[in-house]
Structure 1
Amino acid sequence: MLRFIQPLFFTLFLLITISAVPKPWASAATLTLSNNCPYSVWPGIQPGGGKPVVANGGLFLPPHQAQTVQLPPLWSGRVWARHGCTFDSAGRGQCATGDCGGNLFCNGLGGAPPATLAELSLGPNQDFYDVSFVDGYNLPMTITPIASPGLGPSSGNCGSVGCSRDLNTVCPMGLQVRSRERVIACKSACMAFHSPNYCCTGSYASAQTCGPTEYSRIFKNACPKAYSYAFDDPSSLVTCSNANYLVTFCPN
């Protein structure tokens, strides 16, 4: 898994969902991927440990198009956007950001950082979801619960989270990923500098010792409803139940 650090809540959710036995009443959900960008994206979908791969782990999404996939009960995983991709007829190629081993279909592989992540964990009674910049950022993304009449009334916060702002325009020089003189992605400070205080590792591996930094504050000030560092749970983690989910790339 191509990931440098992982939010604490997501690790806990994977442990819970891996051990959970699906209940007869556990409902599946649909995940709609909507590309509002003026260019094509290739969404990647990586399941959590022990969960099935859906949609072959990746697909092609032209500008202003959407595609819906069915998620199994108690599924968990993450979604990101690859862009600047070229693939041959055999599905081999590469992407400028978010590449998953040079494959059109990621088939369980994660995306190469930096990439914006939408993370989702379906529970038997409550779902958890967020948008994270812990692995860096490549394009704007939101995740929004959509009420489903067939699933009953929703409960929880059920708000939209993520970011509609292009953070590449405010990315500090030391974090920039450039192509043809243009910033196409923004690294996390952990990826750029490999320091424990930025990565929340070693003596900084707890919410008490790892706090926001000058770099994470840039992300948080621009996008307060997204994870800016590993222990950014209070303002970034959202819950809902009895809902389907919409991930939008380049939301308005």
Structure 2
Amino acid sequence: MATRAHRAPISLLVLLLASVTGVASKSFAITNNCEYTVWPGILSSAGSPGMDSTGFALAPGESRTMPVPAGWSGRLWGRTLCTTDPAGKFACVTGDCGSGRQDCAGGGAAPPATLAEFTMDGNDGMDFYDVSLVDGYNLPMLVAPEQQGAAAAAGGNCAPTGCVVDLNGACPGDLRVPSSTGGVACKSACEAFGTAQYCCSGEYGSPGTCRPSAYSQFFKNACPRAYSYAYDDATSTFTCAGAVSAYAITFCPSTTSVKSAGSNAEAPAGLPLINGTMVYQGGDQFVGAGAAARPALDLAAVLVGVAALALARPMPR
């Protein structure tokens, strides 16, 4: 009896320690398929258990698997064109987190940056995730759940998502972040212009008043499953049940990796991972598959055709 009396609090203590320290329930398999080094950055949400690392380097072709604590929520992104100055300060041209080091240490991504956002073990034990272009775009990214049987998909909208085409070259001129070698990132309209209408703030701070703009449609047409503006929830939030043990996060996914992730499979939202139907005709014309040419609505819509051309070329490895 004495032994049993002591076992209960010990078991309770173990459970409490597990909840505090954040026992890993899943993992992220992060791969850099770009032709250049990418420095992933990680920011945990307030009150969330932390990750083992908040930033590191991935050379071209390199991968790293990270345990994800139970109940973790936060965001992950890729930093590019990073250097260390003579004083030892680390900084990146895109996605910089302001820490002055490879690890972000609580700093978030400076826009524009392609963001993967997660809430693990949320309502009913579901994982919620999305890829967001609300803060702009800096490189292609694919998030694909690794499903374990039918139980994984049965829990909801469990499918790959991301923005897997290179939009930097097709980015509208007033959103483009230029460099000596071309565009390196594409701002959101909110970042570029700072108005309430584009930022979904003030009198535009509700789903009924903040509507898609020509600029957000540029992102949405090229990357149908990614968030394109603040209230793009219906077609951009994905959920998986607890049977998913890992998420593969790939920067610059190749055409092979996109196909293996199920790019042609439609999510329950009815949207493909890639919009491959738009073809640039030149001037102010573009067509969809099986449709006659029609005038472009605006510059952003025309440029979507340019983005679609990237699908005909092999993605960087």
Instruction: Report the TM-score when normalising by structure 1.
Output: 0.85
1:30 corresponds to: 27
Asked if residue 105 in structure 1 is aligned to residue 103 in structure 2, the reply is yes
Instruction: Give the Cα separation in 2 of the matches to 1:240 and 1:90.
Output: 45
1:217 corresponds to: 217
Percent sequence identity over matched residues? 50
Q: 1:181 to 1:63 in 2, by over 3 A?
A: closer
1:91·1:104 contact (CA, 8 Å) conserved in 2? no
Bigger CA radius of gyration = 2
After TM superposition, the structure 1 = structure 2 runs for residues 96-175 of structure 1, keeping only pairs within 5 Å, are 96-101=93-98, 102-124=100-122, 125-148=125-148, 153-154=151-152, 155-175=155-175
2:293 corresponds to: none
Asked if residue 245 in structure 1 is aligned to residue 222 in structure 2, the reply is no
Deviations 1:146-168 (CA, angstroms, capped at 9, x unpaired): 1258xx93132210001111111
Structure 1 position 111, deviation (Å): 1.2
Structure 2: gaps spanning 5 or more residues: 1-17, 255-317
Structure 1 position 91, deviation (Å): 6.3
Instruction: Report the TM-score when normalising by structure 2.
Output: 0.68
1:15 corresponds to: none
Q: 1:91 to 1:43 in 2, by over 3 A?
A: farther
The AA in structure 2 aligned to 1:62 is A
Structure 1 position 89, deviation (Å): 9.8
Structure 1 position 88, deviation (Å): 6.4
Local SS of the residue matching 1:30: strand
1:32·1:246 contact (CA, 8 Å) conserved in 2? yes
Deviations 1:8-63 (CA, angstroms, capped at 9, x unpaired): xxxxxxxxxxxxx959xx97110111111011100000001112332331011011
The AA in structure 2 aligned to 1:190 is C
State how many pairs are aligned. 228
